[in-house]
């Protein structure tokens, strides 16, 4: 019974302990979080923070695990705001008792996941990683020396996963990056001497003075490192480095002293097989080299020995050599042979400025074509001096037949080069190009290239470039693609500055062509299913394409050149321009056309303006002069003309206009019509009207019986247009119809809506039956003289117009005119004429015999006299009141 009772007590105690271990992290989480932040920030001149902390006492008992999430280290001055370190998670393992210490925490292992370390040394030599606070005296520190809060490490295992470390030295113009870094190690660093087993896998990039020497090359390192903590000496015991597919073995040591670091390393390839050369090249470009046939040797060997301090680097000597080597891929028809390579990378003094690269020999042969190169680069870390020469001949078609280049399309053509160059980077940076020495020629013939991104293959029959000390001269450039032929020549003024100093490419070129088709440089987009041409056109007119994911057309920011162009024929979409000449200036992401002249639509086109892609939205600003354009052809060929003057579709003849317009462009450089604004002064010289296909004209003729549209006279019309926000305003202009004047004015939208009025000054004779008996009172001459304004109101759209007129009120106006004219006549007429006229106005059409004297006739005569008397009194004085009735 006592045993059972004891077991029960033990189980209860264990249960309580387990519960305490589980809930303790929750109970003390805030206190522990505050302690961690306080310990770190008290020791660093930076701001350290994290989003959350997880504490586990059960996992790994009797060790506790603490994990910090989204931890960041933000610099203070002089790098204020820069992120030195960030990680998704940092976890450490330590004894449970360490959690409750205010200082002197001892960490046994740690892990880092998805870290980003950004190390920066600025131009003044200050480093952003120098964030440890300097220790002072007891009064300044506020604590005794023995109360230091430094961490101590007794690491048995650690790992860093999926991380990135970048190092940028602005003073030395050097950048080193470890990306996709996975590193782990195991050992007991609590011992004075121990061995650390490490495994590293990463992509390495290294650049110096804007030159990328290594670009994302894969590196794998398995290393056993002897650790001597007492002497701070780390010895490489058993190490294999895999650079891409090239294996290197090395040994030696690194020792950390108070004032410097000592390095003594030797390395080399484990064998001299030429296969090692192919292994240097990333596998993505070299393919599998397992079955490649090779002859000859390839060796890399070197040593690094010396000290590292504020002024010195270790001296080193790296030698790369190959002699009479060759290789052939099993699935390719040709081989590369007679490969010779001798290169040294040397620093003998320990001063960085004395580093040099000497490529004494680089040559190879494919079939009978031999290519040679040599170069010497001195003072590579300061003012680098370059002296290089290229000489040889290459059949470009053989390159892909001998080496697995990742090309979508095969190349062809013969390249012959004989070029020498000598320059120093300081002269390039200071634009002292007279200090450079360039000479030689580069000749390319029979070059052909095809790509899915091009409408047609490009064929360069001949290109010849001559290199001079100050300029690069394009002597000949003859090419063809589709219908287009090109001939060009010119000069590039600062090729060296463009290549090495990130300057704009400055040049002047002359370009000529017999036929230049812009369609040859465009690839049609595949329309989306369910789409329609009308819908696509409406979308294009209403708003710029947004969110489509299509790449925007951009004018290169590095171009600063002038092109003088001429072409006998230029084809763009359905337009054909003849005798095109003009100047194109490209600068600051803007293309400016100057004095472009062309024959178009049996007339002359003049154009000045620009297109800019510098802003978020591309813009254009153009001034066009159209002289003698054939109206019918230009209306069919120019969408813009259809939008500006839809009525032009019925006209036949010539058009003269000065047109200014500006606005935004879609990503494919088509105008956003709703953004277009400008004005135009147009003159129409017509020879006729083709109204049979115009709904507007037929609707107008249907409302006005007297109108025969075939007799409309649009000759010598002048009008002014202004447009903005998708609306075109047309100032009133006059059109002739036989002996009638018509005034037209109003506006329409780019959406084809219309709001116009046409006022017809109509002679009375054209009103016909509408005027009825009124016209019978007028002579033929009077019918010509009397005119009535008839207004037609035009609305709706171009394709579905609505027309209304005020013809009835116009006829009523005619009656008023006739009464007024009769009154004017009565003033100067005699009694008999007055009686007759007034009789007619009163409707008395009966004519009695002159001999008749019956009572009825006498009464009528008296009535006429009274009526005449009243009319005259109404015209010349007040009418007396009738007191008899």
Q: How many CB atoms are closer than 10 A to CB 384?
A: 22
Helix (H) or strand (E) holding 390, with range, is strand 385-395
291: DSSP letter: T
The answer on 314 and 179 residing in a single domain is no
Residue 476: inside a domain: no
Structure tokens at 761: 């000054």
Residue 365: inside a domain: yes
The answer on 223 and 81 residing in a single domain is yes
Report helix, strand and coil shares of the chain as percent, to nearest 5.
25, 50, 25
For residues 243 and 55, give the distance between their C-alpha atoms in angstroms, rounded to a whole number: 40
The answer on 221 and 98 residing in a single domain is yes
Alpha helices, DSSP H, located in 295-439: 396-402, 425-429
From 218, 238, 258, the end of a domain falls on 238
The answer on 289 and 322 residing in a single domain is yes
Cα pseudo-dihedral 437, 439, 445, 451, rounded to 10: 0
Contact 155, 108 (CB under 8 A): yes
DSSP string for residues in 818-846 = HHHHHHHHHHT--HHHHHHHHHHHHT---
The answer on 189 and 86 residing in a single domain is yes
Residues 105-141 pLDDT 10s: 667 788 899 999 999 988 888 888 887 776 554 444 4
DSSP string for residues in 298-334 = EEEEEEEEEEESSS---EEEEEEEEEEEEEE-TTSS-
407: DSSP letter: -
Contact 149, 43 (CB under 8 A): yes
Angle CA(26)–CA(32)–CA(33) in degrees, nearest 5?
Answer: 95
Contact 372, 390 (CB under 8 A): yes
What's the number of domains the chain is made of?
Answer: 3
The residue to which tokens 């005296």 are assigned = 137
Q: What local confidence, expressed as pLDDT, does residue 4 receive?
A: 53
The answer on 349 and 211 residing in a single domain is no
For residues 92 and 65, give the distance between their C-alpha atoms in angstroms, rounded to a whole number: 6
For residues 787 and 514, give the distance between their C-alpha atoms in angstroms, rounded to a whole number: 59
List CB contacts of 59: < 8 A, sequence separation 6 or more. Answer: 65
DSSP string for residues in 680-741 = EEEEEEEEEE--TT-HHHHHHHHH-TT--GGGEE-TTEEEEEEEETTEEEEEEEEEEETTEE
pLDDT above 70 covers what percent of the chain? 75
Helix, strand or coil, per DSSP, at residue 247: strand
For residues 452 and 855, give the distance between their C-alpha atoms in angstroms, rounded to a whole number: 109
For residues 547 and 531, give the distance between their C-alpha atoms in angstroms, rounded to a whole number: 17
For residues 52 and 29, give the distance between their C-alpha atoms in angstroms, rounded to a whole number: 10
Cα pseudo-dihedral 732, 736, 737, 741, rounded to 10: 60
For residues 879 and 457, give the distance between their C-alpha atoms in angstroms, rounded to a whole number: 98
Q: How many CB atoms are closer than 10 A to CB 549?
A: 5
Phi, psi of 708 (to 5 degrees): -110, 105
The answer on 253 and 165 residing in a single domain is no
How far is C-alpha 71 from the chain's CA centre?
36
Residue 520: inside a domain: no
Question: Minimal CA–CA distance to 282: which of 400, 390, 203?
Answer: 203
For residues 279 and 191, give the distance between their C-alpha atoms in angstroms, rounded to a whole number: 39
Q: What local confidence, expressed as pLDDT, does residue 793 receive?
A: 92
Contact 49, 72 (CB under 8 A): yes
Residue 841: inside a domain: yes
Q: How many CB atoms are closer than 10 A to CB 687?
A: 11
DSSP string for residues in 108-161 = EEEEEEEEEEEEEE-TTS-BTT--BPPP--HHHHTS-GGG----EEEEEEEEEE
From 406, 427, 461, the end of a domain falls on 406
Residue 694: inside a domain: no
Q: Which domain holds residue 345?
A: 244-406
What averages of pLDDT result for each successive group of 10 residues across the chain (885 residues)? 50 48 54 66 78 71 78 86 89 70 66 91 84 57 44 72 91 86 86 88 83 79 89 89 83 89 91 82 72 90 90 92 92 93 94 92 94 93 90 92 80 92 86 84 90 79 88 92 92 79 85 87 50 41 41 77 93 83 91 91 90 89 89 75 74 84 83 86 74 74 78 78 87 84 89 89 74 67 77 89 86 73 61 53 42 46 48 42 37
Structure tokens at 597: 């002249």
C-alpha pair distances (Å), 859 with each of 235, 572, 868, 870, 880:
149, 88, 14, 17, 22
Structure tokens at 161: 């996963």
The answer on 229 and 261 residing in a single domain is no
For residues 862 and 869, give the distance between their C-alpha atoms in angstroms, rounded to a whole number: 11
Q: What local confidence, expressed as pLDDT, does residue 633 receive?
A: 79
The answer on 315 and 217 residing in a single domain is no
SS3 string of 511-522?
EEEEEEEHHHHC
Count of all residues that appear for the chain in the document: 885
For residues 276 and 327, give the distance between their C-alpha atoms in angstroms, rounded to a whole number: 11
The answer on 180 and 324 residing in a single domain is no
DSSP string for residues in 597-623 = EEEETTEEEEEEEEEE-SSSS-EEEEE
Helix, strand or coil, per DSSP, at residue 182: strand
C-alpha pair distances (Å), 153 with each of 108, 133, 158, 190, 223:
6, 20, 11, 7, 21
Contact 803, 814 (CB under 8 A): no
Q: What local confidence, expressed as pLDDT, does residue 497 receive?
A: 76
Residue 644: inside a domain: no
List CB contacts of 519: < 8 A, sequence separation 6 or more. Answer: 455, 482, 483, 571, 572, 573
Contact 252, 239 (CB under 8 A): no
Helix, strand or coil, per DSSP, at residue 413: strand
Structure tokens at 125: 């030599």
- Which of 735-739's residues contact partners 24+ apart within 8 Å by CB, and which partners? 736/712, 737/707, 737/711, 737/712, 737/713, 738/711, 739/763, 739/784
From 384, 406, 428, the end of a domain falls on 406
671: DSSP letter: B
Task: Write b or e for each residue in 303-336: b if 16 or more Cβ atoms lie within 10 A of its Cβ, otherwise e.
Answer: bbebbbeeeebbbbebebbbeebbbbbeeeebbb
Residue 113: inside a domain: yes
Contact 209, 224 (CB under 8 A): no
The answer on 250 and 228 residing in a single domain is no
- 68 by Cβ neighbours in 10 Å (0-12 / 13-18 / 19+) ranks as buried
The answer on 78 and 25 residing in a single domain is yes
Helix (H) or strand (E) holding 744, with range, is strand 740-749
Residue 649: inside a domain: no
For residues 626 and 621, give the distance between their C-alpha atoms in angstroms, rounded to a whole number: 16
Q: What local confidence, expressed as pLDDT, does residue 51 receive?
A: 82
- Region label for 50, one of left (φ > 0), alpha (ψ between -120 and 50) or beta (otherwise): beta
Contact 836, 845 (CB under 8 A): no
Q: What local confidence, expressed as pLDDT, does residue 631 receive?
A: 75
Cα pseudo-dihedral 503, 509, 512, 515, rounded to 10: 10
């Amino acid at each position: 019974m006592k045993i059972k009772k004891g077991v029960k007590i033990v189980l209860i105690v264990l249960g309580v302990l387990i519960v305490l271990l589980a809930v303790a992290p929750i109970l003390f989480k805030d206190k522990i979080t505050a302690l961690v932040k306080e310990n770190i920030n008290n020791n660093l001149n930076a701001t350290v923070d994290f989003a959350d902390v997880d504490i586990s006492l059960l996992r790994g008992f009797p060790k506790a695990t603490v994990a910090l999430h989204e931890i960041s280290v933000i610099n203070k001055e002089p790098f204020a705001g820069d992120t030195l370190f960030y990680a998704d998670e940092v976890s450490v393992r330590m004894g449970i008792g360490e959690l409750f210490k205010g200082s002197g925490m001892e960490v046994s292992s740690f892990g880092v996941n998805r870290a980003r370390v950004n190390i920066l040394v600025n131009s003044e030599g200050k480093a952003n990683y120098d964030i440890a606070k300097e220790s002072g005296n007891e009064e300044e520190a506020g604590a005794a020396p023995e109360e230091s809060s430094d961490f101590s490490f007794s690491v048995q295992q650690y790992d860093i996963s999926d991380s990135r470390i970048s190092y940028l030295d602005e003073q030395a113009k050097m950048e080193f990056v470890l990306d996709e870094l996975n590193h782990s190690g195991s050992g007991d660093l609590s011992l004075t001497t121990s061995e650390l087993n490490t495994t590293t896998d990463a992509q390495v990039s290294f650049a110096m003075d804007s030159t990328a020497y290594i670009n994302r090359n894969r590196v794998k390192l398995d290393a056993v490192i002897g650790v001597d903590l007492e002497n701070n000496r780390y010895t490489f015991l058993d190490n294999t480095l895999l650079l891409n597919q090239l294996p290197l073995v090395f040994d030696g040591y690194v020792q950390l002293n108070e004032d410097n670091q000592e390095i003594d390393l030797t390395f080399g390839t484990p064998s001299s097989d030429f296969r090692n050369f192919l292994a240097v090249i990333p596998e993505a470009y070299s393919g599998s080299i397992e079955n490649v046939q090779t002859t000859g040797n390839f060796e890399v060997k070197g040593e690094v020995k010396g000290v590292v301090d504020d002024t010195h680097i270790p001296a080193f000597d790296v030698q790369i050599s190959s002699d009479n080597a060759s290789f052939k891929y099993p699935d390719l028809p040709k081989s590369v042979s007679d490969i010779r390579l001798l290169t040294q990378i040397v620093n003998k003094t320990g001063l960085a400025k004395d580093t040099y690269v000497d490529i004494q020999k680089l040559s190879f042969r494919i079939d009978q074509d031999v290519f040679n190169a040599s170069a010497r680069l001195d003072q590579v870390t300061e003012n680098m001096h370059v002296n290089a020469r290229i000489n040889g001949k290459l059949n470009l078609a053989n390159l892909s037949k001998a080496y697995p280049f990742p090309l979508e399309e095969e190349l062809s053509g013969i390249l012959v080069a004989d070029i020498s160059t000598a320059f120093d980077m300081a002269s390039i940076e200071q634009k002292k190009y007279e200090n450079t020495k360039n000479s030689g020629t580069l000749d390319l013939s029979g070059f052909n290239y095809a790509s899915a991104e091009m409408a047609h293959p490009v064929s360069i029959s001949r290109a010849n470039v001559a290199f001079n000390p100050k300029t690069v001269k394009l002597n000949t450039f003859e090419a063809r693609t589709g219908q287009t032929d090109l001939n060009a020549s010119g000069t590039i003024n600062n090729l060296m500055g463009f290549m090495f100093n990130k300057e704009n490419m400055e040049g002047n070129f002359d370009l000529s062509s017999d036929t230049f088709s812009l369609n040859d440089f465009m690839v049609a987009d595949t329309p989306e299913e369910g789409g329609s041409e009308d819908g696509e056109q409406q979308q294009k007119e209403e708003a710029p394409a947004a969110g489509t994911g299509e790449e925007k057309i951009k004018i290169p920011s590095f171009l600063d050149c002038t092109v003088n162009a001429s072409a006998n024929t230029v084809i763009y979409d359905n337009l054909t321009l003849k005798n095109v000449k003009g100047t194109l200036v490209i600068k600051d992401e803007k293309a400016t056309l100057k004095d472009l002249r062309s024959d178009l639509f049996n007339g002359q086109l003049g154009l000045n303006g620009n297109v800019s892609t510098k802003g978020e939205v591309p813009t254009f600003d153009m001034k066009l002069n159209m002289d003698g354009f054939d109206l019918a052809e230009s209306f069919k060929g120019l969408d813009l003309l259809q939008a500006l003057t839809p009525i032009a579709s019925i006209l036949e003849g010539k058009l003269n206009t000065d047109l200014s317009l500006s606005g935004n462009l879609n990503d494919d450089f088509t105008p956003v019509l709703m953004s277009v604004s400008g004005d135009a002064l147009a003159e129409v010289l017509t020879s006729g009207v083709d109204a049979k296909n115009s709904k507007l004209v037929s609707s107008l003729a249907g409302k006005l019986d007297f109108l025969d549209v075939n007799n409309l006279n649009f000759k010598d019309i002048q009008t002014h247009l202004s447009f903005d926000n998708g609306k075109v305003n047309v100032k009133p202009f006059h059109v002739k119809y036989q002996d009638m004047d018509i005034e037209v004015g109003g506006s329409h939208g780019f959406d084809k809506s219309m709001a116009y009025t046409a006022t017809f000054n109509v002679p009375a004779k054209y009103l016909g039956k509408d005027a009825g008996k009124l016209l019978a009172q007028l002579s033929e001459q009077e019918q010509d003289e009397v005119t009535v304004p008839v207004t037609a109101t035009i609305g709706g759209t171009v394709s579905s117009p609505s027309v209304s007129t005020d013809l009835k009120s116009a006829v009523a106006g005619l009656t008023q005119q006739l009464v007024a004219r009769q009154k004017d006549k009565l003033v100067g007429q005699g009694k008999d004429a007055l009686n007759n006229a007034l009789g007619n106005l009163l409707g008395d059409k009966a004519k009695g015999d002159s001999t008749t004297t019956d009572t009825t006739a006498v009464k009528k005569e008296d009535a006429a006299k009274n009526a005449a008397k009243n009319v005259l009194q109404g015209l010349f004085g007040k009418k007396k009141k009738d007191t008899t009735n």
